[in-house]
Structures are given as structure tokens and as C-alpha cells.
Chain A
Amino acid sequence: MLECKNIYYHVDKFILEDFSMKVENSQYVGLLGPSGSGKSVILEIIAGLRHQDSGQIFLGKDDLIDVSALPPQKRNCGYLFQDYALFPHKNVFENISYPLRYVKTPLEPLSESDKKELVYNISKSFNITDLLHRMPENLSGGEKQRVALARTLITKPDVLLLDEPLSALDAPLRKASLELFSSLAHDGLSIVHVTHDIEEINSVSDYIIQMTDR
């Protein structure tokens, strides 16, 4: 679940005024607007990559917790960047297992075999087990997206933020990706999908927020 309350943010000539939004579990919300309207800025504020001037951000699976003052590494927010931001010096296995080194389990640290099992299981669900030893530069756009998703979801985030996730894909892959995102929402994940193309999210989103310039 995610809730943004009365977010105010300004930098240079860009101003975000009184932005509020609530996304329940299994809800798929589209954030629509032209380039420069601040869609990605909202995602960055939710993830903690930018700090709002005022307003609050709440995240959580069952209960909402105020994460407004927390740094990004403590927010449990899944963020799929537009260019996927895979680490070029790490292979697919190392990319996917990267967040596991920072996971705080209640009992004891994850063992290496636990990590391997988690990586293998999530790779299987995204159909990328045969890519585990490849370097990101040798992956296609669709493969990069699936690897980035696996990496983002392996620690079960409270919300998945998608920043123009289909811009680098061709038409058949776009359809497959939308079906994948939709199934993730169906399984309980809250999703916020940023795009400038209404056709992209019309069929999958529960509601759409339209960003406008004033």
C-alpha cells in the first residue's frame, strides 16, 4: 500500500503542488502526463531519491507507516527505472542477488545457499534462469526488463514504481510486459505506472491520475 499526502516540492522552475494519492494492495494506478510534468519526480519522492518540501509518504503491506523522513534504502520501495539501471559490471545472478546482501531478516542473515535458492526461484518465475551468467550488455530489452524486475521484487517491496517501463520495447513485448505487471498486481502488489501514453495503461490500471501544467 502507498499513500502520498499533500506533497509540495519545488526545484528551479518546477513546482509540484498539493499532490495526494492512495494505492491499495493489488491496485494498479497510472500516472499520466507529458514530458516535464513531474511524473518521474513523484516516483523519486516516493522512493526517497528526492525529498519533498512538505507532505507525507506512507508505505506498508498491512499497515501504513510514515516513511517521509526515511532514506531510500530503508523504504522497501521497488523502483523499475526507465533504462532498467542494471549494474554493468555484475552478471545477471549478481544483479538479482544484490539486494539480498542488505536484507535484514528477523532471525539470522541469509546464508549463501538461501540466497542462491531465492535468486533461482525468482529467475524461474521470470523465465530467465538461462541468463544467470550473462552480462547485462548481452541482454535484449525484454530480458533486461525481466532481470530488473526480478532484482526489484526479490525482497518483496511494498509498492512497485514503474518509470516509463515500456519505452524501450517493441509492440509484442509491450503487451507481454503489461500482462506481467497486471499479474503482479493481481498477486497483491501495489503498482504505480508512469507514462505519457494513455493507451499503455488504459486496459490495466484501476484508475489514472492525469498530471497537468498550470
Chain B
Amino acid sequence: MKNRNRTSRLIFLFLSGIALLFIISPIISLYFSSSLDKIFESAADPEVSQSIITSLVIAAATTLIFAVFAIPLAYLLARHDFKGKNLLLGFIDLPIVLPHSAAGIAVLGLITRDSLLGRLADSIGLNLIGSPFAIGLAMAFVSLPFLINSAKDGFEAVPKRLEQSAATLGASPFQSFKTIALPLAKPSIISGLVLMFARGMSEFGAVIIVAYHPMTAPVLIFDRFNSFGLSYARPISIIFVSVCVLVFILLRLLGQKKTSRKN
């Protein structure tokens, strides 16, 4: 019996190892693919640093702005059943399954000069295509489902009884949401925000359709690869992957710190 358990565990470990290796090995080989000189040379290139800042800033702003709309939606979905809810949930997940270039085309249709939004912008002398606004929209479109789903799961995990209790103690629905549901769902919401930010920051397919400039880091990597080849794209890739990993770890640690301080 003991031997059989051991064999099962070894098989599981072996299979898991292959899955992990598949994720880790391209990243590790990337880090060994370029010399330190080339990496520092790329880091000193103002176009590289500007593209990374553009990615980070637009992704952060997009996440925070859309959170204002996504969190109430997640709460309503968690708390209410209605006809067509499953269909609506399917629509929310649609951006995850769409090819990203198709997502970019869809977003582009929203902001062309002929569209309502485009005409509005045109009337005040703005062109939305090729703007940070367009990049933000593309990032939001592909990454919003992560925030909505994570926040919805968080709200669903808050027992309805607690909000009912708050109501009998004098809290209005909004007060109950603010003092009970939101704080208790916070870890899931933060997780969703981090995922949305990370996904948006690394988006390429949708972004390149709506705006080649200003260049985000993924677009610059593609541009360098296309124009100069793999050896020129690698150093920027290493820098951007490092920034992504650092930001991701930092946000996760901040999220955990807030949770453990509360406990």
C-alpha cells in the first residue's frame, strides 16, 4: 500500500515537473540569452524606459478607473439571480477567449472617427486612435473579466446573512456593502486588480491594432524583433519580464501584508 502511494506521488511529481519546466525554462533561457552589456545598453535607451513607463502607467490608470464600474457589477452578479444571468456571465468572459487582434479590431470600431465616441472626441479636437486612451481601452477590454470574476467570487464568499444582519442593525444597502461586503471581499478584489493590471500591462495583440504609438513595452519588443531581429528584442524582453515579475511580487506582498495585518 505504501509503495503504491509512493509510486502515485512520484508520477504526480514527474507530470507536475514537466508542466513547471514548460513555464520556467523559456524564461530562464531568455535570461541567459543576452549579455549583461546588451541588457544595460537597452536599459539606458530612453525609448525602452519610456515604453515600460507607458505600459505601467496606462495599465495602472485603466485598472483603477475601470474598478469603479467593475466592482459594483461584480457585487450585483454575486447577490442577484435573474433571467439571462448565465448568458451575461458568458459575455463577460468573452474577451478572454477572443483572439486579441480581433479584440483590438472591436475596440477600434468603438473609437474611429465615424463612431459616437470618435465624433465626440473630434468635436473637441481630439483623435482617439493612436492615443493612450485607446491603449487603455484595449488593455481594459482584455483584462476586465479577471477583475470582475475575482471580485464576484469574493462577494459570493461573503455570507448574505452578514448583510442581512447589518440591515437589521440599521445599515442601508449601500452602508452594508461598504462596511461588510467590501471589506470582507477585499482580498479577492485586490487579487483581481493585480491580475487586471498584470494582464493589461502585458497586452500586445489588441494594443497594436488601436495604437502603434505611443509604444508600450510589448509593442516595442515586437518592433525591435521585426526591424532588427531576435538579438535586439531579447534584452528589452529581459528588462520588461523583470519589471513585470518585480511589480507582480510587490503587489502580491502588499496585498498579503494588508490581509495579515488585519488578522
Contacts and interface: CB of A to CB of B under 8 A. Distances in A.
B161 A83 contact: yes
Contacts of A44: 164
17 contacts: A49-B167, A72-B167, A73-B168, A73-B172, A73-B175, A78-B168, A81-B164, A81-B165, A85-B164, A88-B162, A98-B166, A98-B179, A99-B169, A102-B171, A103-B170, A152-B168, A155-B170
B180 A49 contact: no
A99 B162 contact: no
A81 B161 contact: yes
B183 interface: yes
B38 to A, nearest CB: 50
Contacts of B171: 73, 98, 102
Contact of A85 (B162, B170, B175, B184): B162
A59 to B, nearest CB: 12
Interface in B150-172: 159, 161-162, 164-172
A85 B165 contact: yes
Contacts of A73: 167-172, 175
Given A88-B184, A89-B184, A102-B175, A72 B168 contact: yes
B262 interface: yes
B123 to A, nearest CB: 44
Main DSSP-derived SS at the B contact region: helix
Closest 8 CB pairs of A and B: A102-B170, A85-B165, A99-B169, A72-B167, A79-B168, A85-B161, A99-B170, A73-B170
Interface in B216-258: none
Contact of B169 (A48, A83, A88, A98): A98
Contacts of B161: 81, 83, 85
Interface residues of A, number: 25
Nearest to A157: B168
B262 A152 contact: no
A61 to B, nearest CB: 17
The interface size bin for chain B is 10 to 19
B234 to A, nearest CB: 47
Interface in A61-104: 71-73, 75, 77-79, 81, 83, 85, 87-89, 98-99, 101-103
Contact of B168 (A77, A83, A101): A77
Interface of B: 159, 161-162, 164-172, 175, 179-180, 183-184, 262
Give the interface centre of B166, B170, B171, B179 by most chain A CB atoms within 10 Å: B170
A75 B168 CA distance: 8
Contacts of A152: 168-169
Interface of A: 44, 47-49, 71-73, 75, 77-79, 81, 83, 85, 87-89, 98-99, 101-103, 151-152, 155
Nearest to A76: B170
Give the interface centre of B169, B170, B171 by most chain A CB atoms within 10 Å: B169
A150 B148 CA distance: 37
Given A73-B172, A81-B161, A102-B175, A87 B167 contact: no
A47 B167 CA distance: 9
B164 A87 contact: no
Contact of A49 (B168, B179, B262): B168
Contacts of A99: 169-170
A32 B171 CA distance: 30
B190 to A, nearest CB: 14
Given A81-B161, A87-B162, A87-B180, A71 B167 contact: yes
Contacts of B183: 89
Contacts of A101: 170
Contacts of B168: 47-49, 72-73, 75, 77-79, 152
Contacts of B262: 89
A48 B175 CA distance: 17
A101 B180 CA distance: 14
Contacts of B167: 48-49, 71-73
Nearest to B163: A85
Nearest to B159: A85
A77 B164 CA distance: 12
B155 to A, nearest CB: 14
A176 B165 CA distance: 24
